[in-house]
Amino acid sequence: MKKIIDECYAEAKRLILENKEVLHRCASLLLEKERITREEFESLFKTTSNLSNVGMGLV
């Protein structure tokens, strides 16, 4: 049981760290608007992905 919990914890931590910028932008947007649409939420991921690609010279 402990192994399963530890693995899930590690995966959750990895996902949070990988998406830290998106989480911060989402929090800022929610503080500003209180509610966001699905499209607005999904665009946070697309914008971050595009920014990463620009930094890597892929866009």
Res 48 pLDDT > 80: no
Q: Please report the pLDDT score of residue 50 as a whole number.
A: 55
Nearest in space to 48 (alpha carbons), one of 29, 28, 27, 20: 20
Domain that includes residue 41, residue range: 2-55
pLDDT tens, position by position, 9-26: 999 999 999 999 999 999
pTM given for the model: 0.61
Average pLDDT score, the chain: 84
Q: Please report the pLDDT score of residue 55 as a whole number.
A: 43
pLDDT > 90 in the chain, percent: 68
**How many separate domains does the chain show?**
1
